[in-house]
Chains A and B, each alone.
Chain A
Amino acid sequence: MIQFHRVSKIYAVGLVKIPALSDISFTVDKGEFVVLAGPSGAGKTTMLRLLYRDEVPTEGEVEVLGRSVPGLRGPQIAELRRSIGVVFQDAKLLPGRTVFENIAFVLRVTGTPRRDVTARVFDALRAVGLSARAQSYPAQLSQGEAQRAALARAIVRKPAVLIADEPTGNVDEAMAAEVIDVVKDVWRRGTTVVLATHQARLAVSLKQRMLVLEHGRLEKDG
């Protein structure tokens, strides 16, 4: 499902070259839950961005859902991204739209027929336990609720892969537990999950396969 083969990523800032990832190789099977752990700046976000073709590797090969990602162009990138749900540390909800509209927006811009939108949005909201907040604006939500709304937006298209980049980074422990519960629920329904966190305790508590990154190198897989 996901394959990294000897992937390196070097950012060039003027004449200075900053290595972000060095010679990373691993495979994630369909339906797996993988935790990407490591301190800030270890290269976790870069690795995730390579998955949805927001970055291309300097060297090596990235394969997602049977496609070689670095070679994808225009419409092929859009097609890949329609199979991937992404959640960030910052919920990135659109402030001028309600929770319902934020989630419906994703369906509308990807061509879902209008008649199917409402049912699918409420399915997603139920899955994250947020049906009652459908008409609230992001400013009216707690950070935990906002993150769950972002999760609903990520799963509304029933993606094959869910990428969560520090989804609990902005919330307190109780809210983090709620968010993680939702992510686990999504995983149990068959979605492959790649979750990045710098919180070592959270990474361990998830009791899933862990890839530990340090200074751009894969230090541990297991």
Chain B
Amino acid sequence: MLGFMLGEAVRDLRRAGRVAVSAVVLIGFSLVALGGFWVLSTNLGHAVARWRDRVRIIVYLKREPAAADVPALLARVQALGDVVSAVYVGKGEALDSLRRVLGKDAAVLDHLPSNPLPASIEITLAQAAATPDGTRALISRLAMLPEADEVAGGMEWVERLAHWQRLLSMIGLGVGSLLAVAAILTVTTATTLVLYARRHETEIMRLVGAAEMVVRLPLLLQGMLQGLIGGLLALIALGVAHRVTAPHLDPVLNVTIGLPGLEFLSPLNLVFLVAAGTLLGAFGGWLARGPGR
């Protein structure tokens, strides 16, 4: 029975002709928009998570403490709360670090009369405190330490990135939803046309006592087929777009937000997109109303 109804759905789809093609294309567009913004949002999300993990607060000390005093100082820092780790960096260590960064130009440091770099403590925040407010609160607590000369670090730019990510998600959802509504209406139109074209079949079906489900299911299946084809076309379009743009975008992303490359949607995301297309089509088919009961 299902095979027969699927056959009827395919026959109906052919009958709908260009309107069905428009519906497929519109579903494809809406899913490409949704998928495209999803790719951007996912990648920004990864960048935000990555940078949240890397956020450090550095307390520059007025003078280098004696080695014996360091553990007590670190313990006091830990006791301030919201601190996952506190690492002491002595003046010598800081200079070595700078030397490594300067590479072949490091010789310039040999001409300095003394080591100008201060000793410092590098602090990693607890996950719960990795917000602008949490960071500000910890910075002000750290500034109260008598040994602290200056406290540096913050979350503002990471939050700005997160803000862009949320904005992109919302724009994607908005554009995708608008196109989805248009797609549903087009599927409904295509199905309504089919209903008119097949009114004799419907009349005969009702006359001979076909169950209402048998009358309606081919229409639903026809909508689902349009959605499925639209979804698969969207996947192909997204895949091709990713393949073409990723090589150009990867170096830019690496330099600007530190991502190794533009990540594509996961298989689960792709399944979701195709399923969303199929559901859109089914909804359009379900909404259609034709002549008769």
Chain B residues closer than 8 Å to A75, beta-carbon distance = 211-212
Q: Chain A binding site: helix, strand, loop or mixed by DSSP?
A: helix
Interface locus among A10-18, A108-116, A129-137, A199-207: A108-116
Distance from B266 Cβ to chain A, minimum over Cβ atoms (Å): 41
B204 at the interface (CB under 8 A from A): yes
A contacts with B, residue count (CB < 8 A)? 22
Interface locus among A59-67, A76-84, A140-148, A187-195: A76-84
Say yes or no: B211 contacts A108, CB within 8 Å. Answer: no
Q: A86-B207, A106-B208, A109-B210 are in contact. Are A94 and B4 (CB under 8 A)?
A: no
A33 at the interface (CB under 8 A from B): no
Say yes or no: A94 contacts B208, CB within 8 Å. Answer: no
Over the window 172-206 of chain B, the binary record of Cβ atoms lying under 8 Å from chain A Cβ atoms (1 yes, 0 no) is 00000000000000000000000000001101111
B contacts with A, residue count (CB < 8 A)? 17
Chain A residues closer than 8 Å to B203, beta-carbon distance = 92
A9 at the interface (CB under 8 A from B): no
B209 at the interface (CB under 8 A from A): yes
Partner of A105 from the list B1, B204, B211, B215 (CB cut-off 8 Å) is: B204
- A75–B203 alpha-carbon span in the complex (Å): 16
B214 at the interface (CB under 8 A from A): yes
Say yes or no: A110 contacts B210, CB within 8 Å. Answer: yes
- A92–B203 alpha-carbon span in the complex (Å): 9
Say yes or no: B200 contacts A78, CB within 8 Å. Answer: no
Chain B residues closer than 8 Å to A78, beta-carbon distance = 206, 209-212
Q: A108-B4, A109-B214 are in contact. Are A92 and B204 (CB under 8 A)?
A: yes
Partner of A94 from the list B201, B207, B210, B211 (CB cut-off 8 Å) is: B201
Partner of B207 from the list A81, A83, A114 (CB cut-off 8 Å) is: A81
Partner of B1 from the list A84, A86, A111 (CB cut-off 8 Å) is: A111
- A40–B82 alpha-carbon span in the complex (Å): 94
Distance from A157 Cβ to chain B, minimum over Cβ atoms (Å): 7
- Kindly name the residue among B1, B3, B209 whose own CB sees the greatest number of chain A CB atoms within 10 A: B209
Say yes or no: B209 contacts A74, CB within 8 Å. Answer: no
- A114–B5 alpha-carbon span in the complex (Å): 12
Q: Which residue of B lies closest to A107 (CB)?
A: B208
Chain A residues closer than 8 Å to B207, beta-carbon distance = 52, 81, 86
- A83–B208 alpha-carbon span in the complex (Å): 8
Say yes or no: B205 contacts A109, CB within 8 Å. Answer: yes
Chain B residues closer than 8 Å to A110, beta-carbon distance = 208-210, 214
Which residues of A (93-121) have their CB < 8 Å from a CB of B?
Answer: 94, 105-106, 108-111, 114
Say yes or no: A106 contacts B211, CB within 8 Å. Answer: no
- Kindly name the residue among A52, A78, A110 whose own CB sees the greatest number of chain B CB atoms within 10 A: A78
Chain A residues closer than 8 Å to B211, beta-carbon distance = 75, 78, 111
Say yes or no: B201 contacts A105, CB within 8 Å. Answer: yes
Say yes or no: B201 contacts A79, CB within 8 Å. Answer: no
Partner of B200 from the list A77, A80, A83, A92 (CB cut-off 8 Å) is: A92
- A111–B3 alpha-carbon span in the complex (Å): 12
